Amino acid sequence: MTTSGTVIIAGAGSGEIDLLTIKTLNAIKTADCILYDRLVNEDMLKFAKPTAELVYMGKKSSGCSDLQATINQTMVDKAQEGKSVLRLKGGDPFVFGRGYEEVEFLHAHNISYELIPGISSLLAAPMAAGIPLTHRDWASSFHTFTGHGAQSELDYTTIAKLAGTLVFFMSIGNLEIICSNLIANGKKQTTPVAIIENGTLPNQRVVCGTLETIVALKNEAKIQPPALLVIGDVTTYAKLVTN
């Protein structure tokens, strides 16, 4: 009878290979099977041992429930084959990464697992762009949201009143909805905004504007995901990055 293997759920960080943690690097080097996401920098996979099985499990939207079910089952199947499995996820697995859903599935199937944090783009991308999420004079708090729920799930009446920095993941497709709803609920049109595309990577770009102008600027620059939306006075500190 084959002895069950184990699963490590680890964060690959925000993209730059040098921001990979030592613990996750060691997991990459020793895994028998690596299931990796779309936002994982594939250069990190060069550290895998030659015999490691590399399985791409990328999805373009958090709504891909069929693929998530496949990911869950594949983790269990590979572990039950006795393999050391690394589930490598972009950013941090527990920050809009559905990591705990995978934990629950492993637990339900009696698969042992380990969790390794990653450096989320929430922290890394603004810093790489020169933007402090908090500042003694401008922001004593920051608040994080997913842009996927921009049309129906977000309470803009409350969000627009928040004085701190607002950070939206996965927001580019709903940028106009986010900005117009914030303005409609009392946020000033002149509130500074920055979009950080490919944060921490060599092709990082930063587009700065206001709630009123950022949609047009995004379209003009042809910004594409992955990109982080940061709203608040702290964005005026952004480095100006050109094409």
pLDDT of residue 169: 96
Indicate the pairing of strand 33-36 with strand 84-89.
parallel
pLDDT of residue 51: 98
pLDDT interval class at 64 (50, 70, 90):
low
DSSP-assigned beta bridge partners for residue 11: 89
pLDDT of residue 7: 98
Q: Looking at the domain 121-237, which fold is it? A: 3.30.950
pLDDT of residue 139: 95
- Asked whether residue 122 carries a pLDDT value surpassing 80, the answer given is yes
Q: How many CB atoms lie within 10 A of CB 166?
A: 23
Decide: pTM greater than 0.85: yes
Instruction: Give the model confidence (pLDDT) of 15-29 as tens digits.
Output: 999 999 999 999 999
Instruction: Give the model confidence (pLDDT) of 187-201 as tens digits.
Output: 999 999 999 999 999
pLDDT interval class at 242 (50, 70, 90):
very low
Q: Which helix (H) or strand (E) holds 231?
A: strand 227-231
Report residue 96 CA to chain centroid gap.
7
- Asked whether residue 143 carries a pLDDT value surpassing 70, the answer given is yes
Q: In what order do the strands lie in the sheet with 165-169?
A: 142-146, 165-169, 227-231, 192-197, 205-210
Domain boundary assignment for the chain: 6-116, 121-237
pLDDT of residue 153: 84
pLDDT of residue 59: 65
- Asked whether residue 60 carries a pLDDT value surpassing 70, the answer given is no
pLDDT of residue 216: 98
- Asked whether residue 243 carries a pLDDT value surpassing 50, the answer given is no
Q: Count how many Cα atoms sit within 13 Å of the Cα of residue 94 in the half-sphere of its side chain.
A: 7
The CATH number of the structural domain formed by 6-116 is 3.40.1010.10
pLDDT interval class at 148 (50, 70, 90):
confident
User: Annotated catalytic sites, by residue?
Assistant: 37, 59, 170
